[in-house]
């Protein structure tokens, strides 16, 4: 992305409200189509002749239609097919007006800091997970990325390498470039074991002026059980004390399917997904995320039905390669 475009997109992030996906507009894989007035933009990438837009436009909502139209015009001029990965409910009518068909793929997971707590029966499992880390002697620290000392930067980078989390992967909901300067206001939540070794780290990117969005979490293989839940709980508590209203944890694929009765059609779909669980681990992710009771708006893939196979290949390529 040209430096001038990056600067323009960065300025638009502050006007994107609490959209959990807005911070990921700066992913280096993405080019951008801007609305005619320059007040909204769409991040996209092209593979195999398919231009894939990621999430909703960033910038002022009243300028979103202009950004969508600009993207559609560019695609026609270049001869690209079009698709959208991770569109939210607000932008859905803009994409369907372009002739794309919507397929629901999951929900945002968003904690509202003023309403959320660990008390109550439904948070029992989460509360127990957090308590286990206290019993294990885990300590945590929350610090802005720009304030992290060089020696701790080195610890985090070693943890990233050892955890196998490739910082160059992802597209729609992962940024992954720790300490790259794009998000100096990012919040880092760090966890150390009883001996002081860094065993987990989470990075939260600013989402508008009142939100945070979880980027790639890092975790050592021998980290105490519950350390991920502990870092989330501490990040939410930090956010509540610093004027943050929304903390986005992740994207939950197909939660309605996993919660469906076994004999229903959706229940059968859950069984089918279970067959692929050793590879994609969606059920494990679902069990983790539902502890927070924070499923939010739906997200969609949009495409033309006759292009399903090509689009599926491109989406996998963008997210995992």
At 31, list the tokens: 């080019």
pLDDT band at 321 (very low <50, low <70, confident <90, very high): low
Structural contact between residues 213 and 236, judged by C-beta atoms closer than 8 angstroms: no
Q: What is the pLDDT of residue 272?
A: 45
CATH code of the domain occupying 109-253+280-296: 3.40.630.30
Mean pLDDT of 252-267: 55
pTM of the model: 0.87
| Widest distance between CA atoms in the chain | 61
Q: What is the pLDDT of residue 5?
A: 85
For residue 258, is pLDDT > 50?
no
Q: What is the pLDDT of residue 18?
A: 75
Q: 3-108+297-320 with 109-253+280-296: one CATH topology?
A: yes
State phi, psi for 142 to the nearest 5 degrees.
Answer: -120, 125
Q: Where are the domains of the chain?
A: 3-108+297-320, 109-253+280-296
pLDDT band at 84 (very low <50, low <70, confident <90, very high): very high
Task: State how far the Cα of 307 lies from the Cα of 309, in Å rounded to an integer.
Answer: 6
Structural contact between residues 214 and 202, judged by C-beta atoms closer than 8 angstroms: yes
Place of tokens 């929304």: 246
User: pLDDT tens across 119-143, in order?
Assistant: 999 999 999 999 999 999 999 999 9
User: pLDDT tens across 283-319, in order?
Assistant: 677 788 889 999 999 999 999 989 889 988 898 888 7
DSSP 306: G
| CATH 3.40.630.30 for domain 3-108+297-320 | yes
Check residues 219 and 2 and name the one with the higher pLDDT: 219
C-alpha to C-alpha distances, 105 to 24, 156, 223, 283, nearest whole angstrom: 18, 32, 31, 14
Q: What is the pLDDT of residue 62?
A: 96
For residue 278, is pLDDT > 80?
no
């Amino acid at each position: 992305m040209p430096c001038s475009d990056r600067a323009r997109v960065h300025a638009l992030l502050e006007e994107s409200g609490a959209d959990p996906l807005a911070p990921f507009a700066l992913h280096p894989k993405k080019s951008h189509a801007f609305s005619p007035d320059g007040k909204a933009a769409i991040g996209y990438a092209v593979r195999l002749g398919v231009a894939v837009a990621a999430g909703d436009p960033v910038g002022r909502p009243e300028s979103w239609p202009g950004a969508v139209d600009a993207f559609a015009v560019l695609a026609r001029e270049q001869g690209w097919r079009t698709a959208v990965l991770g569109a939210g409910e607000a932008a859905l009518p803009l994409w369907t007006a372009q002739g794309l068909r919507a397929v629901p793929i999951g929900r945002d997971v968003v904690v509202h800091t003023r309403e959320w707590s660990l008390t109550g029966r439904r948070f029992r499992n989460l509360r127990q997970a957090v308590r286990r880390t206290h019993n294990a002697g885990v300590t945590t620290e929350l610090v802005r990325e720009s304030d992290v000392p060089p020696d701790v930067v080195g610890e985090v980078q070693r943890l990233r390498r050892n955890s196998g989390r490739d910082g160059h992967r992802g597209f729609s909901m992962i940024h992954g470039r720790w300490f790259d300067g794009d998000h100096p206001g990012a919040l880092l939540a760090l966890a150390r074991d009883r001996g002081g070794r860094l065993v987990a780290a989470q990075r939260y990117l600013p989402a508008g002026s009142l939100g945070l969005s979880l980027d790639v979490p890092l975790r050592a293989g021998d980290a105490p059980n519950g350390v991920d839940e502990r870092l989330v709980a501490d990040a939410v508590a930090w956010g509540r004390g610093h004027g943050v209203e929304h903390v986005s944890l992740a994207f939950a694929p197909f939660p309605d399917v996993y919660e469906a009765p076994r004999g229903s059609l959706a229940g059968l779909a859950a069984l089918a997904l279970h067959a692929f669980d050793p590879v994609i681990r969606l059920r494990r992710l679902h069990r983790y995320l539902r502890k927070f009771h924070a499923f939010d708006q739906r997200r969609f893939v949009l495409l033309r039905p006759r292009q399903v196979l090509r689009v599926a290949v491109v989406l996998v390529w963008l997210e995992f390669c």
